[in-house]
Each structure stands twice: as C-alpha cells, then as structure tokens.
Amino acid sequence: MSDTVRIDGVQLEVAPGTTILEAAKLAGRWVPTLCFDERQAPFGACRVCMVGVEGSANPLPACTTVCRDGMNVSTEDPTARRVAGAVVELVLSELPAAPAPHTELAQVAQRLQVGAELRWPGAVHAVDHDLEHPYLAFQHELCISCGRCVRACDEVQGAFALTAVGRGFDANVAAGLDGGFLHSSCVSCGACADTCPTDAITEQLLLVGGNGNSAVAAGV
C-alpha cells in the first residue's frame, strides 16, 4: 500500500505517513528548513519549509504535512518562497552579527538569497555569552528559538538540561535554572551543539580556534 505524489513534476510512490519533506528528499528536491533535524520528531516551529500544494489556498509546512494520495507539490511555489524568505529575513534582522557562513542559517539564507538588503530594521539581541563550561559555549544572542537543542537534550540524550524560555523577541533557551551549562544537568554529550543551526551553542574549542562568528571574534 502506497500513495502516489508529484513533487515538482516528479512522480513517486511513498509509504503512508510520509511527510512532504521526506517525499521531496526522495525526489531530490530542496526544501529550506531551520527547526527540522531528521534525528528528532518534526516540530513545525520555524515556518521556513513552506511549499505550495495544489488545492490548498495557502502554503503548507513540508516537515509536518503528511502526503495524501494524488498530492501535487511545488517546492518553489512563489508564495511559499516569499513566506520562507520573510521568516529568514526577520530572524537575521534580530541577530547582532551575521551567522558564520558554515551554519545552516547562513546557508539557508544564501540559498533563499536573503541577507544583503534586510527589510526589518529594529531591535537586535543583546550579546550574552555563557563561557563557564569547559566544553560548551552558549552565545544566547545567536539563538533563533528553533528548539532543536532542547529536543536533542530531551529526546536523544535524556538529560533535560535545556529549557525554552521567553516569548517572541525574548524567546531563548536556558541551561538548568538559567545558571548556565556548568550548573545544569548537562552531561557534555554535545548533542545540542551538533544540532544548533546558528552556532548559538557550540564547542568551546571551536571558539578558541575561531568559528568565523564576528561577535566572538570581536570579543564581545
């Protein structure tokens, strides 16, 4: 038993329960993502993975939308791409420094051609570094609240050291009771740093060696 779907004109058979994002990957098509990590259950928080679906008035999130038999999907639907680009623009506009070029955020922005002319002037996050832990560094101002680190800590490692805190512009992640990694239940597994799409959480060694992040390089 399988469902037949078309992704950008490519017809394929997928197992029931397959998401549009999974089908797009099978079809060799790119969909931008920020809060998605294939090691974790889809979360549907960032709204960057929007795609056009025939018969749907609005773009749909590819990571959480399950394929239906006969579905016709466009990963390059202009409205969906506009939504994704606007979300990435807004996220970038809140950072005090551009994300390092190797990060997922920088790469998604580049591929969506977002960055040179930001439309969202306004407040940027204040620099706030937790550098006490011997292995892990947290540059809170680079956090885009995608939740991947929290889910990695909970679902993958079971350490429950990280918590999503705040709302809207003030949304961020706290380690322990907001006392930093060193004073939390962190077991130094590095799963949070491994999944973070912005290097907000990264390994201390990478900071010492220089990870290309201008905020850290400037010593702020």
Contact residues toward ligand FES (CB under 6 A) are 33-36, 44-49, 61, 63
Residues in the chain: 220
* Six-digit token string for 86: 């606007």
Q: Which does 59 bind (CB under 5 to 8 A by kind): ligand FES, ligand SF4, none?
A: none
The nearer residue to ligand FES, 36 or 181, going by C-beta atoms, is 36
Q: What is the DSSP string of 44-111?
A: --S---EEEETT-SS-EETTTPBP-TT-EEETT-HHHHHHHHHHHHHHHHT-SSPPPTTSHHHHHHHH
Compute the least distance from the CB of residue 20 to ligand SF4, in Å. Answer: 22
The nearer residue to ligand SF4, 52 or 99, going by C-beta atoms, is 99
Q: Which does 45 bind (CB under 5 to 8 A by kind): ligand SF4, ligand FES, none?
A: ligand FES
The nearer residue to ligand SF4, 161 or 173, going by C-beta atoms, is 173
Q: Which does 49 bind (CB under 5 to 8 A by kind): ligand SF4, ligand FES, none?
A: ligand FES
Determine what percent of the chain falls in helix, strand and coil, rounding each to the nearest 5.
30, 15, 55
Q: Which does 198 bind (CB under 5 to 8 A by kind): ligand FES, ligand SF4, none?
A: ligand SF4
Instruction: Calculate the CA 99 to chain-centre distance.
Output: 13
Dihedrals φ, ψ of 137, to 5°? -120, 145
In the 8-state DSSP scheme, what is residue 35? S
**CB contact set of 34 (below 8 Å; sequence gap of 6+):** 46, 48, 88, 91, 104, 105, 108, 144, 146, 197
Compute the least distance from the CB of residue 40 to ligand FES, in Å. Answer: 11
Binding site for ligand SF4 (CB under 6 A): 143-149, 173, 195-198, 200-201
Q: Which does 44 bind (CB under 5 to 8 A by kind): ligand SF4, ligand FES, none?
A: ligand FES
The nearer residue to ligand FES, 14 or 35, going by C-beta atoms, is 35
Compute the least distance from the CB of residue 146 to ligand SF4, in Å. Answer: 4
Q: In angstroms, rounded to a whole number, what is the distance separating the alpha carbons of residues 183 and 177?
A: 8
Q: Which does 173 bind (CB under 5 to 8 A by kind): ligand FES, ligand SF4, none?
A: ligand SF4
